[in-house]
Amino acid sequence: MMILLVTVITYVFYLLTKKLNKRFAFPLFHPLLFTPLLIIIVITLLNIPASEYLDGATFLTHMLGPATIAFAVPIYKHLSILKKYLGLITISITAGSLIAVFSSYGLSLLLHIDRSFLVSVLPRSITTPIAMEVSKEIGGLPTLTTVFVIITGVVGGIMGPSVIKRFAITSPMAQGLALGMSAHGVGTSKAMEYGEQATTFSTLAMIFAATITIVWGKLLIPTLVAFI
C-alpha cells in the first residue's frame, strides 16, 4: 500500500512541477527541486516518517538503473559518428571529469567542509545510481551525494543552454558533450531540445564520465582524501 501511495504522490507532483516549470520557466519550479519540496511538506503534514517514504520509494529508486541504460539507444543509432570522434570525445570528457573532481575538492577545502561531506560531494558530476555506488565505496554518504548530484544537474541544466546561446555554440557534439558532462541526466534531457545528435553525445558524455569517475574513485579520490 505504501509503495503505491508513494509512487502516485511522487509521480503526480513530478508532472505538476514539470508543467509549472514549462509554463513559467522559473528555476525554483524545476521538477528536481520543487517535487522534493512538495513531498517534504506532504509527508510532514500527514506525519509519515521519512524512513517509510524511502521504503515505499524503493521501486522508483530501482528504476534509475534501467532509465540510465535506455540512453544507450541513441548511441547505437549514431555509432559511426561516435567512432569518428572517439579520441576527441575521450579527451574532452576525461578533462571534464578531472575538473569536476578537483573543483569539488578545492571548494570543499576552502569552505572547511567536514570530511564525510567532502567525500560525498566528489562524485557529484555523474548520474545518480553510479554516484551513489562510488560514494559508498569511498566512504561517503550516498543520500547526501544524491542531493549534490541533483543540485549539479539542475544548475547545469539551467545554465547550460544560456552558455550555449551566449557563445553561439552550434555543433551538436559540443552542445551534447557540454550538457552531458556538466549536468548528466538532467543535461541529457535538455540536450533532446537540440536534436538527436546532441542527445547522443550528451548520453555518451554521461556514460564516459561515470566510467572515468569510477576509475578516479579507485585511484585518485582516496589519495585526495588522505590529505584531509
- Distance between CA atoms of 110 and 123, rounded to whole angstroms? 18
pTM: 0.78
Q: What is the per-residue pLDDT for 198? A: 92
Q: Is 27 helix (H, G, I), strand (E, B) or coil?
A: helix
Q: Is 149 helix (H, G, I), strand (E, B) or coil?
A: helix
Q: What is the per-residue pLDDT for 163? A: 92
119-147 as b/e: b if 16+ CB within 10 A: bbbbbbbbbbbbbbbbbeebebbbebbbe
User: Of 114, 183, 188, nearest to 151 (Cα)?
Assistant: 183
| Identity of residue 163 | V
- Distance between CA atoms of 192 and 224, rounded to whole angstroms? 36
Mean pLDDT per block of 10 residues along the chain (228 residues) reads 77 88 77 85 86 79 74 77 87 90 86 84 84 85 89 88 91 93 87 89 87 78 71
Residue 34, C-alpha cell as written in the block: 520543487
Q: What is the per-residue pLDDT for 228? A: 64
- Distance between CA atoms of 149 and 151, rounded to whole angstroms? 6
Measure Cα distances from 88 to 110, 173, 177 in Å: 33, 10, 11
Q: What is the per-residue pLDDT for 47? A: 87
Helices (H) and strands (E) in the chain, counts: 14, 0
Residue 68, C-alpha cell as written in the block: 540510465
Could you tell me which residues come within 8 angstroms of residue 174 by beta carbon, excluding any fewer than 6 positions away?
none
Domain boundaries, the chain: 2-62, 74-226
Q: What is the per-residue pLDDT for 178? A: 93
Q: What is the per-residue pLDDT for 102? A: 87
Could you tell me which residues come within 8 angstroms of residue 193 by beta carbon, excluding any fewer than 6 positions away?
161
Do residues 116 and 228 lie in contact, with contact meaning Cβ atoms separated by under 8 Å?
no
Q: What is the phi/psi pair of residue 127, to 5°?
A: -65, 150
Q: What is the per-residue pLDDT for 219? A: 76
